[in-house]
Chain A
Amino acid sequence: MPDFKPQTPRPYRPAESLLDSIGAESLDPSYAAAARRRAVGGPVRWWTRVLGVVGFVMAGLILGISAQQAEARRLPAAEERQALSREIVRKAARVDSAGAELRALRAEVAERRAAALLRNGGDNTLSRLADAQVAAATVPVRGPGIVIRIDDAAGTDDAVSLDPREQEAADAGRVLDRDLQAVVNGLWASGAEAVSVGEHRLSSLSAIRAAGLAILVDYNYVLPPYEIRAIGDPAALGRALESGPVGHQLRSLRDDAGIQFSVEFSDRLHIPAAEPAQLRWAVSSALTEVSPATDPSRQGGIP
């Protein structure tokens, strides 16, 4: 049993902070004590040397084993990553080709439908269908209209700062999703029949949102300078820009935040179709037979 009597009176040391004492004793005091013993003259046995070497070998062993295991863990992770990225590339190519096939099939369906409607429904159905398609943004459209290009204030770069004040200053000149929404809504209100942002056609289900610094139209990123096209009566659209809320909004953005914009009128604008939405509520108008489209719980069906 160790006796708990104090052995040698220790010199009083003022209490050190924990970190200080860890740092101060980082070299094991036993080394100094052993050195003192050696200086006084003690036998140095040969096997202590061997012990020391064995100790170093053990330390090396531990380090070597750990390093080797870390290496072994890295290899399969890297292989997995590579296999995944190859898979992604392959599947992306598949998606592209499936998309092309889909577009070709849709074009064929539209042709046959037009032919069938011409035969059965007469001209009226066809033109009603065309109007509905324009409104639903499922077909590309051509016509006169305007192109508005909006860009961030000059000197706005993409660097993100961790200081919120700095970031706010940098953001002041940035075009926000709100701004694009206001312009687009103003164009709709002034009689635009088809609107696109970037190359993306806006449908009644479209959203313009911000994700971080980027602006998303539906799920597509758009980058500045943003190009907004609207097909409609050029005179009405022009008036909206002169004296309507759209122009007011754009001009105040320019004056307050330095946002740049330019307007161009054109006789022959082309706006692509939107990605078709899924049919949920559509019901066929001529019930000659029970068709799957009459079941509202089934998505998709005969357009």
Chain B
Amino acid sequence: MIVVIGLVLGLTLGWMLSPGVPPELQPYLPIAVVAALDAVFGALRALLDGIFDDKVFVVSFVFNVVVAAVIVFLGDQLGVGPQLSTGVVVVLGIRIFSNAAAIRRHLLGA
């Protein structure tokens, strides 16, 4: 469906074009990746639950990426960059697992 097409399109574009990420943004790429994964898993779960909403997806995705980047940036300024980054990754990781479990229940009924 359209969701998958969009994802695949983005993936291919990102891989093929390999646009250079400006060095100022480079440190935030990992955290953006985790936030993107979290948003995608959340969207998949919402789709399977039948309550998917495009606006909510985009807004929450963008907001999570921005908030995560701000937290990492703040952490770098305060000298606790790696620790805060770890915290963000842990929380997003828990959410990813939780959504993945719900998706699994939908798909496999177990």
Give chain A nearest CB distance to B106 CB in angstroms: 12
A27 to B2, CA, bound (A): 21
Whether the pair A53, B6 counts as a contact (CB closer than 8 A) is yes
A8-33 interface code vs B (CB 8 A; 1 in, 0 out)? 00000000000100110011101110
- Asked if A102 is an interface residue, CB under 8 A from chain B, the answer is no
Whether the pair A66, B7 counts as a contact (CB closer than 8 A) is no
Whether the pair B55, A48 counts as a contact (CB closer than 8 A) is yes
User: B95 to chain A: which residues have CB within 8 Å?
Assistant: 22-23, 26
The SS class assigned to the B binding surface is helix
A54 to B7, CA, bound (A): 9
Whether the pair A67, B94 counts as a contact (CB closer than 8 A) is no
Whether the pair B60, A28 counts as a contact (CB closer than 8 A) is yes
- Asked if B108 is an interface residue, CB under 8 A from chain A, the answer is no
- Asked if A69 is an interface residue, CB under 8 A from chain B, the answer is yes
Residues in B40-61 with C-beta less than 8 Å from chain A: 40, 42-43, 45-46, 49-61
User: A182 to chain B: which residues have CB within 8 Å?
Assistant: none
Contacts A27-B49, A28-B42, A62-B33 given: A68-B15 contact, CB under 8 Å?
yes
- Asked if B66 is an interface residue, CB under 8 A from chain A, the answer is no
Interface residues on A, range: 20 to 34
Whether the pair A57, B42 counts as a contact (CB closer than 8 A) is no
Whether the pair A57, B55 counts as a contact (CB closer than 8 A) is no
Whether the pair B14, A60 counts as a contact (CB closer than 8 A) is yes
User: A27 to chain B: which residues have CB within 8 Å?
Assistant: 42, 45-46, 49, 98-99, 102
Give the number of A-B contacts (CB < 8 Å). Answer: 149
Residue of A nearest to B33 (CB): A66
- Asked if B79 is an interface residue, CB under 8 A from chain A, the answer is no
User: A34 to chain B: which residues have CB within 8 Å?
Assistant: 51, 53, 55-56
Whether the pair B52, A63 counts as a contact (CB closer than 8 A) is no
User: B5 to chain A: which residues have CB within 8 Å?
Assistant: 53
A2 to B20, CA, bound (A): 40
Contacts A62-B36, A63-B33, A67-B15 given: A28-B56 contact, CB under 8 Å?
yes
Give chain B nearest CB distance to A16 CB in angstroms: 13
Residue of B nearest to A56 (CB): B6
A58 to B62, CA, bound (A): 10
Q: Which of A19, A38, A66 has the most CB of B within 10 A?
A: A66
A28-50 interface code vs B (CB 8 A; 1 in, 0 out)? 10111011001000000000110
Residue of B nearest to A72 (CB): B18
A34 to B62, CA, bound (A): 17
- Asked if A59 is an interface residue, CB under 8 A from chain B, the answer is yes
Which of B14, B50, B58, B59 interacts with A67 by CB under 8 Å? B14
User: A109 to chain B: which residues have CB within 8 Å?
Assistant: none
User: A54 to chain B: which residues have CB within 8 Å?
Assistant: 6, 58
- Asked if A64 is an interface residue, CB under 8 A from chain B, the answer is yes
User: B43 to chain A: which residues have CB within 8 Å?
Assistant: 56
A55 to B10, CA, bound (A): 9
9 A-B pairs with the lowest CB-CB distances in the bound complex, closest first = A60-B10, A64-B14, A52-B54, A56-B6, A26-B98, A35-B51, A34-B53, A55-B58, A57-B10
- What are 24 of the A-B contact pairs (CB < 8 Å)? A22-B98, A27-B46, A28-B42, A30-B59, A31-B46, A31-B51, A31-B53, A34-B51, A34-B53, A34-B55, A35-B53, A48-B54, A51-B58, A52-B57, A55-B39, A55-B58, A55-B61, A56-B3, A56-B6, A57-B6, A58-B61, A59-B40, A60-B8, A65-B14
A interface with B by C-beta (< 8 Å): 19, 22-23, 26-28, 30-32, 34-35, 38, 48-49, 51-69, 72
